[in-house]
Amino acid sequence: MCQKKQRCEEASCYRERWGGGFPPFLGIFCVGFVSGGSLVTAALAKRTRSRCLDSSSHQPQPGRQVSDGTYRTVKNSLAMLLPFLLYGAAHFLAAAKGEVVQDFKNCLEFFLDKMPPGESLTPPREAKICQFYRNAYRFATMYDREKRIPIYSAYKCKPGKGHRYQGWMIEPQLVDPTLGKGMEDERETNIAATGIKKSQATFDDYAQALSIEKGHLNPVSHQPDEDSRAATSTLTNIVPQYSKLNEGAWAEHESLLKKEAQACHDMYVLVGAVPGDEYISDLRVNKPSHIWSAACCVLDNQHRKSWAALAKNSENEVKEYSLETLQKILAELYGKKKVDLFNGSCN
């Protein structure tokens, strides 16, 4: 829902506010009501005007005066109508845009029981991205357009083989929902850089940062094939991560999960970043204070097993916790009452 004004600058929200929520018949009713009201006002004004003219001693040309008055009332009525005309135009445009509301409905398969985590992790200017690459959804990301980092990525851990993609992708939907649902290589896109930079990080943002690398939330090594592996190279799946952690303890943690996944029928993983107080690239991109991960191994219909881990970005150490403890720590770090990552369905 869009309670905040700033969020309604976004095209998707535009639709949510004007296209989705407010029924069209109400708009038509308003237009009808106001036009009717204006006509009555105009008629009354005209009558008053001619009476005034009749009683004045010096008689100017009545015709001209009356038409001046009418002109003014018509102008006023139009001014009154304007908001409603704008409303109509907005509604028409939003409807023409088609399916632009962003949610996870096309990529629920990447969440355990098709249940995304509760809204406690949702940032004020969120984007729910179904990561689409080469004709398929590859994973899901909750993105913070203001801090320009993902809050979490959700995926199924299915380690496989493939080359590493040489390049970085950006997300057209974040520029304008009409630009399509698929990620595009930053070097090949036709979208202007100024538009892209508004609400997402670009390759340049990471170029100057010291001791910092582009840290994947959904890592290359947990994906089954060339295309899914390439899809992780999208900057909406990337946070500024200290090189030491990225290449050290976090890489080890990723290998460990990869091994554990072999025993699971399915392993659902959430990897997230807790926004920190520092930024890179002139305050453009937040540097997370912590990176966390939570996994649910589905063994069969009756048996599930969870893992949870947390690392301070600035330290090369990953600590393992029970899922419950991680959720408590996250609730504290995000300043929320409760964090529920798997709808209470994995212990």
Residues in contact with ligand NAG by CB under 6 A are 113, 115, 343-345
How many angstroms separate the Cα of 152 from the Cα of each of 116, 155, 206, 316, 330?
Answer: 11, 10, 19, 20, 12
Q: In degrees to the nearest 10, what's the CA dihedral of 289, 131, 257, 305?
A: 100
Least separation, in Å, of the C-beta of 113 and ligand NAG? 4
Which of residues 99 and 103 has its CB atom nearest to ligand NAG in the complex? 103
Contacts of residue 291, Cβ cutoff 8 Å, sequence gap at least 6: 215, 217, 239, 241, 245, 250, 271, 272, 273, 274, 310, 311, 313
Token code pair at residue 182 = 């698929």
Positive or negative: CA dihedral 318, 323, 324, 326:
positive
Choice between 217 and 346, CB closer to ligand NAG: 346
Whose CA is closest to 215, among 311, 282, 295? 311
In the structure encoding, which two tokens stand for residue 28, read together?
A: 């038509």
CB of 331 to ligand NAG, least distance (A): 18
DSSP bridge pairs for 312: 290
Q: Which residues pair with 150 in a beta bridge?
A: 143
Give the shortest CB-266-to-ligand NAG separation in angstroms: 15
- The smaller minimum CB distance to ligand NAG, of residues 243 and 345, is found at 345
Q: How far is the CB of 108 from ligand NAG (least distance, A)?
A: 10
112 vs 149 by CB, closer to ligand NAG? 112
Q: Residue 134: helix, strand or coil by DSSP? A: coil
Let me know if 192 is exposed, middle or buried by CB neighbors in 10 A (0-12, 13-18, 19+): exposed
Residue 264 CB, nearest distance to ligand NAG (Å)?
Answer: 18
Distance CA 13, CA 8 (A): 5
Least distance in angstroms from the C-beta of 340 to ligand NAG: 9
Q: Which is nearer to ligand NAG, 115 or 333 (CB)?
A: 115
Q: How far is the CB of 138 from ligand NAG (least distance, A)?
A: 22
Query: Shortest distance, CB of residue 115 to ligand NAG, whole angstroms?
Result: 5
Residue 125 or 305: which CB sits closer to ligand NAG? 305
Contacts of 42 (CB under 8 A, 6+ apart): 70, 73, 74, 77
User: Is 140 or 201 the residue whose CB approaches ligand NAG more closely?
Assistant: 140
**Pick 66 or 108: Cβ nearer ligand NAG:** 108
* Closer CB to ligand NAG, 120 or 343, in the complex: 343
Q: DSSP states of 83-109 as a string?
A: HHHHHHHHHHHHHHH-S----STT-GG
Q: At closest approach, how far in Å is the CB of 268 from ligand NAG?
A: 12
**Hey, is 149 helix, strand or coil?**
strand
Nearest to 280 by CA among 173, 149, 132, 120: 149
Contact partners, residue 58, CB within 8 Å, separation at least 6 = none
